């Protein structure tokens, strides 16, 4: 939160604590002029727990990024903000690069009943209707991810080779790794 606040403030040509601030566990840089606050999920949870009405009055929008990480603070924050958004005028933006959008849409969609009267031609007109949340998808090229482990990289670079695949040099008696020669044979 601190690094992002510093970056945004710098791009706006100001210091942190003016219109852009942050709140983390033991440190805060906000003022009465602050309009954009970057905070950790834990800080937001404590603010909500202390006084939900004040939180909803203090913040008009909450953006939760990396919601797919599913740590306990983020999970509880999503639940708390969903309830506040339903009861108050709080706008919630939830972002995830990897989580399936339909899961988020289903979770945040609410059931609302319509107030129109039933007509003989349309007896289902006043049944419960699902209010779907809007979504935005930013298209991007997916790049394949290849996992390399330390042993793979060490073998690929020739820095270390496993004793089992060693054809030259002496491996340790325990079958561990040995340092590849620095000069060719």
Q: State pLDDT tens for residues 48-82.
A: 999 988 888 888 888 888 888 778 998 898 888 88
> Are the beta carbons of 68 and 78 closer than 8 angstroms?
no
How far is C-alpha 77 from the geometric centre of its chain's CA atoms? 11
> Are the beta carbons of 21 and 38 closer than 8 angstroms?
yes
> Are the beta carbons of 137 and 104 closer than 8 angstroms?
no
Q: 92-141, pLDDT tens digit by residue? A: 888 887 777 788 888 888 644 333 333 344 444 434 455 678 888 777 77
DSSP string, 44-55: HHHHHHH-HHHH
Torsion angle of the four alpha carbons 167, 171, 173, 176, in this order, in degrees rounded to the nearest 10: -110
d(CA 54, CA 76): 18
Please give the backbone phi and psi of residue 180, each rounded to the nearest 5 degrees, phi first. Answer: -70, 150
pTM listed for this prediction: 0.60
């Amino acid at each position: 939160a601190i690094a992002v606040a510093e970056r945004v403030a710098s791009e706006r040509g100001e210091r942190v604590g003016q219109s852009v601030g942050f709140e983390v566990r033991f440190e805060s840089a906000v003022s009465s002029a602050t309009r954009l606050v970057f905070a950790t999920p834990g800080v937001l949870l404590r603010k909500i727990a202390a006084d939900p009405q004040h939180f909803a009055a203090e913040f008009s929008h909450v953006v939760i990024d990396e919601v797919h990480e599913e740590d306990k603070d983020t999970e509880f924050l999503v639940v708390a903000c969903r309830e506040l958004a339903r009861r108050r005028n709080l706008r919630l933006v939830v972002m995830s690069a990897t989580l399936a959008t339909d899961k988020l849409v289903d979770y945040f969609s609410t059931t609302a009943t319509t107030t129109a009267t039933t007509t003989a031609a349309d007896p289902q007109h006043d049944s419960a209707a699902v209010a779907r949340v809007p979504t935005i998808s930013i298209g991007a090229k997916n790049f394949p991810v290849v996992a390399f482990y330390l042993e793979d990289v060490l073998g690929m670079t020739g820095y270390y080779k496993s004793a089992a695949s060693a054809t030259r040099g002496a491996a340790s008696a325990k079958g561990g790794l040995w340092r590849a020669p620095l000069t060719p044979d």
